[in-house]
Structure 1
């Protein structure tokens, strides 16, 4: 890849990132009230993302082989426990990921 192509790709990435940051403010100026559908999506999408992450995490797990999904289930339990305890989505996901990676790299090799 040439230097020009790298610069173009970096510029395209930066433009796309900035566009996603500015577009909501351009689409919904402060003078107008936010549409109800956007408010609704803001309430339901976090739960939908949790469901999507659960499906993604367990999609390749096979309960009939090996450790019967033990690392996945233990890590999922850690995520739930952390979220109930601290109510912090980032901490829950990071904690579950760390526990899962430690389990598959050390205990369930």
Structure 2
């Protein structure tokens, strides 16, 4: 168990580290200079790459040979796709899909 002084030191270290990780981009890329092309490229492609990796990670342990045959995941993915195409709202799609998936695996596909 941590003492009060250990907790305070830990919080100070975490706050300082967070502050500096937020400050460094402003030092490396000041507003009076043009942002390098490769940084702009990474800003365009990385979000999609990360989402793709997260999807693969979340689906890697699904067994299509045993009950429930991945039905909860398939239904939730289809729901996310339909809601996103319909409403074009990422937050609504992700939250709705998560809520639906949790409902399915906790009540229907037990």
Q: TM-score, normalised by structure 1?
A: 0.89
The alpha-carbon deviation at position 11 of structure 1 amounts to 1.9
Q: How many residues align?
A: 109
1:94 equivalent to 2:85? Answer: no
Distance 2:7 2:49 in 1: 35
Match of 2:7 in 1: 6
Distance 1:18 1:49 in 2: 24
SS of the residue corresponding to residue 67 of structure 1 reads coil
SS of the residue corresponding to residue 84 of structure 1 reads helix
Structure 1: 5+ residue stretches without partners: none
Structure 2: 5+ residue stretches without partners: none
Compared with structure 1, are the counterparts of its residues 37 and 76 closer, same or farther at alpha carbon in structure 2 (3 Å cutoff)?
same
Q: TM-score, normalised by structure 2?
A: 0.88
Structure with the greater alpha carbon radius of gyration: 2
SS of the residue corresponding to residue 60 of structure 1 reads coil
Runs of 4+ in 1 over 4 A off after TM superposition: none
